[in-house]
Amino acid sequence: MGQARESLDLLPGTLDLLILKVLARETMHGYGIAHRLKQTSEDVLQVGESSLYPALQRLLLNGWVKAEWGASENNRRARFYTLTPAGRRQLASEHQDFERMMLAIQKVLRTA
């Protein structure tokens, strides 16, 4: 009460979009994705395992990412996620939808 919130809840469906966006730059493991989201959002988006891994499984199920085991930066066995061509198309489509939605929300907030 009265304290600034350290992290914000994501809008439904936006986590998938953000993961796709992070993976569009490079292949990453789960921790790397969570770390990148936190870093890029300046600690606003802190994604826990209970949100991140179901989202990654959802992306795998839809065929938007593929997963392969490899060695991490500290030489541990880790699972790396890569965006598929279908995932790239999905990212473009979701990005566009999100932009439209944000624009609509902003219009309402400014005028209503």
Partner 1 sequence: MLKLFRRIKYWAESGRRSAELAEEMDFHRAMSEERDGAGGRAMGNMTLAREEARSVWIWPWVESVGQDILYGVRGMRRQPGFTAVALVALSSTIGINTSLVTAFSALALRPLPVRDPARVVNMFRLGDKGVGGFSIAEYRYLAEHSRSLSGLVVTAFGDPATTDELHKVAGSYVERELLPRSGRFGCSLAAAFWMGKTAPEDRSR
Tell me, rounded to whole angstroms, the distance of Cα 19 from its chain centroid: 2
Q: Is 40 helix (H, G, I), strand (E, B) or coil?
A: helix
Binding to partner 1 by residue 99, rule CB under 8 A?
no
Binding to partner 1 by residue 44, rule CB under 8 A?
no
Amino acid residing at 65: V
Binding to partner 1 by residue 29, rule CB under 8 A?
yes
Minimum Å gap between C-beta 90 and partner 1 is: 13
Amino acid residing at 51: S
Q: Is residue 7 within 8 Å of 45, Cβ to Cβ?
A: yes
Binding to partner 1 by residue 13, rule CB under 8 A?
no
Span near partner 1 by CB under 8 A; candidates 11-19, 71-79, 91-99, 100-108: 71-79
Minimum Å gap between C-beta 24 and partner 1 is: 21
Residue 69 pairs with which residues in a beta bridge? 79
Q: Is 35 helix (H, G, I), strand (E, B) or coil?
A: helix
Alpha carbons 21 and 109: distance in angstroms, whole number: 26
Q: Which of 39, 72, 93, 106 binds partner 1 (CB under 8 A)?
A: 72
Question: Residue numbers of the site for partner 1 (CB under 8 A)?
Answer: 29-31, 34-35, 48-50, 52-54, 56-58, 60-63, 69, 72, 74, 76-79
